[in-house]
Chain A
Amino acid sequence: MIRQLMAQSPLLLFPIVGLLIFVGVFTLVVARVFRHKADEFDAMARIPLGEDDGASRAAPSTALEGAAHAASRPALEKGR
């Protein structure tokens, strides 16, 4: 079957290999993501909620909390 398919055009190699690369990466991403429990991502999911909406609603304490929360996680690199 594969030979019949390739007989249509040798260029079919490109999309087929590309498809396999996609399937490989996709499987890897899904496997890696779902190996972790959902609550392990809670801190990341809350990033938008932990800062101010503007001067009129500035809530430094929230931002401080957010920053402190970030700092409590394992440092990934120097803060810049």
Chain B
Amino acid sequence: MATESRDQAAPALEAKRIVYNDSIVRWFIGASVLFGVVAMLVGVIIALQLAVWQANLHPILTFGRLRPLHTNAAIFAFVGNMIFAGMYYSTQRLVKARLASDLLAKIHFWGWQLIIVSAAVTLPLGFTTGKEYAELEWPIDLAIAVIWVVFAINFFWTLWNRREKHLYVAIWFYIATIVTVAVLHIVNSLEIPVSILKSYSIYGGAKDALIQWWYGHNAVAFFLTTPVLGIMYYFVPKASGRPVYSYRLSVVHFWALVFLYIWAGPHHLLNSSLPNWAQTLGMIFSIMLWAPSWGGMINGLLTLRGAWDKLREDPVLKFLAAGVTFYGMATFEGPLLSIKSVNGLAHYTDWIIGHVHSGALGWNGFMAAGMFYYLVPRLWGTQLHSKRAADLHFWIGTIGILLYMVSMWVAGVTQGMMWRAQNPEGGLLYPNFVETLMALRPMYWTRIVGGTLFLVGQLMMAWNLFMTAKAGKAVDGEAEVLIEKDAEPVVPWTSLIFGRPVLLAAVTTAIMLLAGLRSEIASFTMVLLTAIVGGVGAYFLQLAREKGKPTWHSLLEGRPLLFTVLTVLAVLVGGVVEIVPSLLVEQTAATGIEAKPYRPLELSGRDIYLREGCYTCHSQMIRPFRFETARYGEASTLDDSRYDHPFQWGSKRTGPDLAREGGKYPNLWHYKHMVDPRQISPGSNMPPYAQLATAKNDAASIPDKMRAMRAVGVPYTPEEIGTGAQDAKSHADEIVADLKANGVDVAPDTEIVALISFLQRLGRGPQPPASGGKAPAVSTLTP
């Protein structure tokens, strides 16, 4: 027997006691609980602002500025700190090694908290890139990259020091998280600085849209999902005392998820002006995601087989089981929303907000709670202070999530249906946008109740965990491990990289590539040939396998570096096939002869639009539906946003689309609407922006902004940049003269004038100066 021969060659073992670094886990838990409360509190505040506009108490606390703070706090502060806690705790135990460097862990912790504080300060102050979930300005982006590298070094160094050779499936998900988030963050954050806290994305229009949603979607995938799946694969078995339901399924789950997730970004851009094939690609891959997502969900839930009775007693299992169930619900809903026709109804409505929160509150929030209730008593060597309070938290939280989700579903479907409703004559039944908003008021209040309940639950958890920690004393986990003194020789990396399965995959891929290059992929012969080569190859691999020897994949699971390289490749395949076409799309899809850059004042006004977070409520993308074109005008084209760095297509319409706002209303309308929205549009929930009428516009920076825009490809000539400030002034004088003629006195150097100039430009070319105006001829600003 093979066992006997192994026994004879058993290596000499040496016992060693290790103490885990659990203090870093305690710190991250504390930060996550604290910032979770902050994120949810801001969430409740902005929910209130949507129901009661008066809740916009101050210009720096308006919805447009607080909403990015809420999303960034929830994603990067609450979930970020939670996943770091879970990863540090479980990784040390799974690889049976103390964290490689306590110093790097401290730098990681304090660096991350500093980033969070920087975000909390800069976002309300209006320093934003205007890209959803990536709003932080370039110095903070750099800090994120540095701290992420520190984290990665410590993580991989710990893997290097491991005493457990096999990398458990949770570690694979952590590896995928670390490498993919790095790629996403770097690619999406490429920007040209204008000043210390101002930059422009190097991508514009459709390119920026594709890359931003490739990032945005995969931030959900690799920041909010894969690390939490790793946590699921560790903590659900731990809490239930049973191994994962199917380890084989976990292998398939991992590779399928990592391969597929990265492709689905374009489902955020369905029915937009993006080329049709790119939209269909995003839709198909989103639907395919159903399989691995549910494979993982089933694997997590079935781990509880035979332990269902514990659900009644153990709050940890309650939270984990409900969290995994919410994951199943959210990942069922996601592909459903990615079907183009469903998306046509749901997109831009609150349905999407409900979908996001079923994941954020149900999956992330409950998995965090389950993990914290499991960890805190162990990390402080005591019992949970109050099991009843944890149970109550579970039920309050569940009711809160359900109220939130259901109200947003109803709101989303209601608004979607009202937008498209037609009267018997074929016109819009609700031509006034505000009507469709006012119909949602009861649902907005219901959401406030749901969100508040969830916040109360979070506060109860914070109290419960604090009391638990107070009653105990911080203790670090210890374990005695055996180390092989004379291990068998290492399998060389070449035999893994050039292993037979890899070669077989390479050959079949080459055949497929050849087929692709010949544009005959669907050719029956080529498909048959690939299948034969693959099938016969697999059969011979099976024959050639030596009994008792480890398989190629089990060898691979013991080699973190190679595993990482292969994971990166899996991720990059999806990334490259999505991003390369987006970089080339300009040459192939856009006709690009009509687009003209913004005039200097418009550019300046656009920055005010970005600063105030107008994109959080207004889209700039008219979809090619009759009910959209009837309401907003001709469907948007790629040319419309060609010089938009960043793009501002938006993802939610609490207010109407603005893609063709230019010329729709006179300057006076915009002025009055900005100062008091309800004077023009009774029932609107838009915050008032009266302060813009007195705030001075930063005209001095206009040439710098134009230079930065030129650097990212906007065709401003040096002459135009040289006369930019002067052109802005004459443009402003023109608007001010028009306002004055209508009875409004406003200084030409105010922000409101710049913003009006931008809004009047949307959806049309530069306008000729009004008669008697002193603006230079428009042609001087065209390429």
Would A33 and B477 be within 8 Å (CB), given that A18-B573, A46-B243 are in contact? no
Q: Which of B10, B256, B482, B589 has the most CB of A within 10 A?
A: B482
Determine whether B207 belongs to the interface, using a CB cutoff of 8 Å to chain A: no
Which A residues are CB-close (under 8 A) to B478? Answer: 52, 55, 58, 60
Chain B residues positioned under 8 Å from A73 (CB to CB): 165-166, 550
Any A CB within 8 A of the CB of B730: no
Which candidate, B217-225, B398-406, B508-516, is the interface stretch facing chain A?
B508-516
Cross-chain contact B94 with A14 (CB below 8 angstroms) = no
B515, B538, B553: the one contacting A33 at CB < 8 Å is B553
Q: Let me know if A20 and B512 touch, CB within 8 A.
A: yes
CB pair B484–A53 under 8 Å, yes or no, is no
Task: Write the B543-554 contact mask toward A (1 if CB under 8 angstroms, else 0).
Answer: 000001111111
Task: Check if B475 is an interface residue, CB within 8 A of chain A.
Answer: yes
Q: Does B156 contact A (CB under 8 A)?
A: no
Chain B interface size band reads 35 or more
CA distance A18 to B282 in the complex (A): 13
Beta-carbon contact of A41 and B577 below 8 Å: no
Answer yes or no: B329 CB below 8 A from chain A CBs.
no
User: Contact between B251 and A79 (Cβ–Cβ < 8 Å)?
Assistant: no
Give the nearest-CB partner of A14 in chain B.
B577
Q: B479, A58: Cβ atoms under 8 Å?
A: yes
Given contacts A58-B478, A63-B481, contact A45 B512 (CB under 8 A): no
Determine if B378 is an interface residue (Cβ-Cβ < 8 Å). Answer: yes
State whether B577 touches A58 (Cβ < 8 A): no
| Nearest residue, chain B, Cβ from A12 | B277
Q: Which of B166, B515, B554 contacts A47 (CB 8 A)?
A: B166
Interface mask (B561-588 → A, CB under 8 Å = 1, otherwise 0)? 0000000001001101110110011001
Q: Which of A6, A15, A16, A58 contacts B477 (CB 8 A)?
A: A58
* Other-chain residue from A6, A31, A42 in contact with B538 (beta carbon distance below 8 A): A31
A43 to B11, CA, bound (A): 19
A49–B501 CB distance below 8 A: no
Alpha-carbon distance between A48 and B242 when the two chains are bound, in angstroms = 9
Instruction: Check B550 against A16 for contact (C-beta < 8 Å).
Output: no
User: Does B480 touch A at the CB level, under 8 Å?
Assistant: yes
Name which of B103-111, B518-526, B662-670 contacts chain A: B518-526
Which of A16, A26, A75 contacts B484, CB < 8 Å?
A75
Q: Are B484 and A32 in contact (CB under 8 A)?
A: no
List A contacts of B480 (CB < 8 A). 60, 63-64, 67
- Chain A min CB distance to B15 (Å): 7
Q: Is A55 within 8 A of B256, CB to CB?
A: no
Contact A44 B259 (CB under 8 A): no
Q: Are A71 and B13 in contact (CB under 8 A)?
A: yes
Task: Indicate if the CB atoms of B482 and A67 lie closer than 8 Å.
Answer: yes
* Cα of A20 to Cα of B511 in the assembled complex, Å: 10
| Contact (Cβ within 8 A) B487 A33 | no
Question: Does B660 sit at the interface, judged by CB under 8 A?
Answer: no
For A24, what are the chain B residues with a Cβ–Cβ distance below 8 Å?
Answer: 505, 508-509, 512, 530, 534
A57 CA / B578 CA spacing, docked (Å): 49
B281: which A residues are within 8 A, CB to CB? 15
Closest residue of A by beta carbon distance from B382: A56
B476 close to A (CB within 8 Å): yes
| A29 adjacent to B251 (CB under 8 Å) | yes
Query: Which residues of chain B come closer than 8 Å to A67, judged between CB atoms?
Result: 13, 96, 163-164, 480-482
Contact of B570 among A11, A25, A72 (CB under 8 A): A25
Q: Report the bound CA distance from A10 to B24 in whole Å.
A: 51
Say yes or no: is B160 at the interface (Cβ < 8 Å to chain A): yes
Neighbouring B residues of A54 by C-beta, 8 Å: 22, 378-379, 381, 475-477
| Chain B residue contacts of A60, Cβ below 8 A | 17, 478-480
* Min distance, Cβ A77 to any Cβ of chain B, angstroms: 4
Q: By the criterion CB–CB under 8 Å, are A28 and B505 in contact? A: yes
Bound CA span A4–B701, Å: 50
Binds A, one of B56-64, B233-241, B718-726: B233-241
Which listed residue, B248, B259, B538, B551, touches A38 by the CB 8 Å rule?
Answer: B248
B 66-124 contacts with A by CB, 8 A:
90, 93-94, 96
Known A57-B378, A76-B165, A76-B558; contact A9-B482, beta-carbon cutoff 8 A: no
A contact residues around B588 at 8 Å (CB):
9-11
For B461-504 the 0/1 string (1 means CB < 8 A from A) is 00000000000000111111111100111110000000001001
Known: A52-B479, A64-B482, A71-B13. A25 touches B165 (CB 8 A): no
Q: Is B625's beta carbon under 8 Å from chain A?
A: no
Give, as a whole number of angstroms, the nearest-CB distance from B465 to chain A.
Answer: 15
A47 x B165 contact (CB < 8 A): no
Smallest Cβ distance from A54 to chain B, in angstroms?
Answer: 4
Q: How far is the CB of A5 from chain B (nearest CB, A)?
A: 8
The reply to whether A25 and B255 contact each other, CB–CB distance below 8 Å, is yes
Query: Across the interface, do A77 and B256 meet the contact criterion of CB distance under 8 Å?
Result: no
Are A48 and B538 in touch, CB under 8 angstroms?
A: no
Are A32 and B558 neighbours in the complex by a CB distance under 8 Å?
no
**A63 & B551 in contact (Cβ 8 Å cutoff):** no
Contacts of A75 in B (CB 8 A): 11, 165, 484, 487-488
CB distance from B261 to the nearest CB of A (A): 11
Q: List the B side residues contacting A48 at CB < 8 Å.
A: 90, 93-94, 168, 170, 233-234, 237-238, 243
Partner of B252, one of A33, A47, A72, A77: A33
Inter-chain CA distance A31–B588, complex, in Å, is 40
Measured between beta carbons, the chain B residues less than 8 angstroms from A43 are: 166
Q: Which residues of B contact A79 (CB under 8 A)?
A: 163, 165, 483-484, 487
CB contacts (< 8 Å) of A22 on chain B: these are 259-260, 573-574
B248 CB contact (under 8 Å) in A10, A11, A34, A77: A34
Q: Is the pair B509, A21 in contact by a Cβ cutoff of 8 Å?
A: yes
CB-CB under 8 A from A77, the residues of chain B are: 165, 487, 489-491, 558-559
Collect the chain B residues with CB atoms within 8 Å of residue A49's CB: 237-238, 241-243
The smallest beta-carbon distance between B547 and chain A, in angstroms, is 12
Contact pick for A45, options B247, B490, B553, B573, CB 8 Å: B247
| Bound form: Cα–Cα A63–B22 in Å | 18
- Contact at A11–B584, with CB atoms within 8 Å? yes
Whether B431 is near chain A, meaning CB under 8 Å from some CB there, is: no
- Interfacial chain A residues near B248, Cβ < 8 Å: 33-34, 36, 38, 41
A41 and B247 in contact (CB under 8 A), knowing A15-B281, A54-B378? Answer: yes
Residues of A contacting B251 in the complex (Cβ-Cβ under 8 angstroms) = 29, 33
In the bound complex, residues from chain B placing their C-beta under 8 Å from that of A30 are 252
Q: How far is the CA of A64 from the CA of B96 in the complex (A)?
A: 11
Given contacts A46-B243, A54-B378, A77-B559, contact A2 B94 (CB under 8 A): no
A8/B276 contact (C-beta < 8 A), A42-B243, A56-B381 known: yes
Tell me the complex Cα distance, A72–B553, Å: 18
> Is B555 located at the chain interface by the 8 A CB criterion?
yes
> Shortest Cβ distance from B37 into chain A, in angstroms?
25
Given contacts A9-B589, A47-B164, A54-B477, A21 and B96 within 8 Å (CB-CB)? no
Q: Are A14 and B509 in contact, with the CB atoms below 8 A?
A: no
- With A20-B509, A36-B551, A79-B483 as given contacts, are A14 and B477 in contact (CB-CB < 8 Å)? no
Given contacts A2-B522, A67-B482, 8 further A-B contacts (CB under 8 A): A8-B275, A36-B551, A42-B247, A64-B481, A71-B13, A74-B488, A77-B165, A78-B484
List 21 A-B residue pairs with CB atoms under 8 Å apart, sorted by A's residue number: A2-B519, A18-B263, A20-B515, A25-B570, A28-B534, A29-B256, A29-B553, A38-B248, A44-B166, A44-B247, A45-B247, A47-B166, A48-B233, A51-B93, A52-B478, A54-B476, A55-B478, A56-B378, A57-B378, A78-B488, A79-B484
Residues in A lying within 8 Å of B, measured CB to CB? 1-3, 6, 8-18, 20-22, 24-36, 38, 41-49, 51-58, 60, 63-64, 66-68, 70-80
Q: 8 closest Cβ contacts across the A-B interface? A: A18-B577, A41-B247, A56-B381, A77-B490, A45-B243, A76-B558, A75-B488, A67-B482
